């Protein structure tokens, strides 16, 4: 676990040195979510109805903005080759990089979501469900996105290709994440949606590092 923690610490330090990349995704999330109430108008019932979908779509897109830097920088300076040659299992190191990516791109969205949710007249319980759904969903976005980032590593026009690969895989997380809040607001209960989201996260946590490792080895050959 020392290697895992070392990779997480290293990537966090690098992210702090490149604050503009992290802040760009955060400001994108804030701006997109904040523009909808201004454009739609002060209709509390309508805003409350569309809030889960808007917040989740904005979180999904802002996460995608940061996927390119997951492996590209290490690939450019040769660090990725050294990680592959390291005696430490590459899957463990990849898991550390994914964890650091979530800490810098996913966790801030989770913390900002309740504040932005107030613009849509969401009550405290709905905001709580939103936070839980994002806590389960944003790591899932990072895990799936890591596979796409590895598959498009070094490919010309990789950003567009990454979007085409990742977006269809993000749809279940979007459906269950936004559906949990909508079900809670309508009184149906969010347990089913959150359980499915947790199951998807468990599957991704098991398979995504392995799949990402295989894709990285192919990209470096």
pLDDT of 44 higher than 90: no
Long-range contacts of 149-154 (CB under 8 A, 24+ apart): 149/67, 149/68, 149/70, 149/71, 149/72, 149/212, 150/71, 150/211, 150/212, 150/213, 150/215, 150/216, 150/219, 151/215, 151/219, 153/71, 153/72, 153/75, 153/215, 153/216, 153/219, 154/75, 154/219
pLDDT of 187 higher than 90: no
5-19, 64-78, 175-189: which range is least confident on average? 64-78
Domain boundaries, given as residue ranges, for the chain: 2-220
Average pLDDT over the chain, rounded to whole? 87
How high is the pLDDT of residue 43? 80
Q: How far apart are CA 190 and CA 151, in angstroms?
A: 34
Write the pLDDT tens digit of every residue in 65-124.
888 878 888 887 778 888 888 888 888 889 989 999 999 988 999 999 999 888 888 888
How high is the pLDDT of residue 50? 87
How high is the pLDDT of residue 76? 78
Write the pLDDT tens digit of every residue in 108-160.
999 999 998 888 888 888 899 999 999 999 999 999 999 988 888 877 766 77
How high is the pLDDT of residue 158? 67
């Amino acid at each position: 676990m020392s290697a895992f923690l070392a990779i997480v610490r290293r990537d966090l330090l690098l992210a702090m040195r490149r604050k503009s990349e992290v802040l760009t995704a955060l400001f994108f999330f804030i701006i997109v979510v904040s523009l909808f109430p201004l454009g739609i108008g002060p209709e509390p019932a309508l805003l409350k109805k569309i809030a889960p979908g808007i917040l989740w779509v904005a979180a999904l897109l802002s996460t995608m903005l940061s996927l390119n830097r997951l492996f590209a920088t290490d690939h450019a300076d040769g660090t990725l080759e050294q990680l592959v040659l390291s005696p430490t299992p590459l899957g463990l190191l990849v898991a550390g990089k994914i964890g650091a990516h979530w800490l810098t791109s996913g966790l801030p969205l989770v913390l900002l979501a309740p504040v932005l949710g107030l613009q849509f007249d969401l009550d405290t319980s709905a905001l709580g469900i939103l936070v839980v759904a994002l806590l389960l969903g944003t790591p899932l976005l990072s895990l799936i996105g890591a596979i796409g980032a590895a598959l498009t590593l070094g490919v010309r026009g990789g950003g567009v290709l990454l979007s085409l690969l990742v977006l269809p895989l993000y749809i279940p997380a979007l459906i269950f994440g936004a559906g949990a809040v909508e079900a809670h607001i309508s009184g149906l209960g969010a347990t089913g949606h959150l359980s499915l989201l947790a199951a998807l996260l468990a599957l991704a946590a098991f398979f995504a590092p392995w799949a990402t490792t295989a894709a990285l080895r192919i990209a470096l050959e």
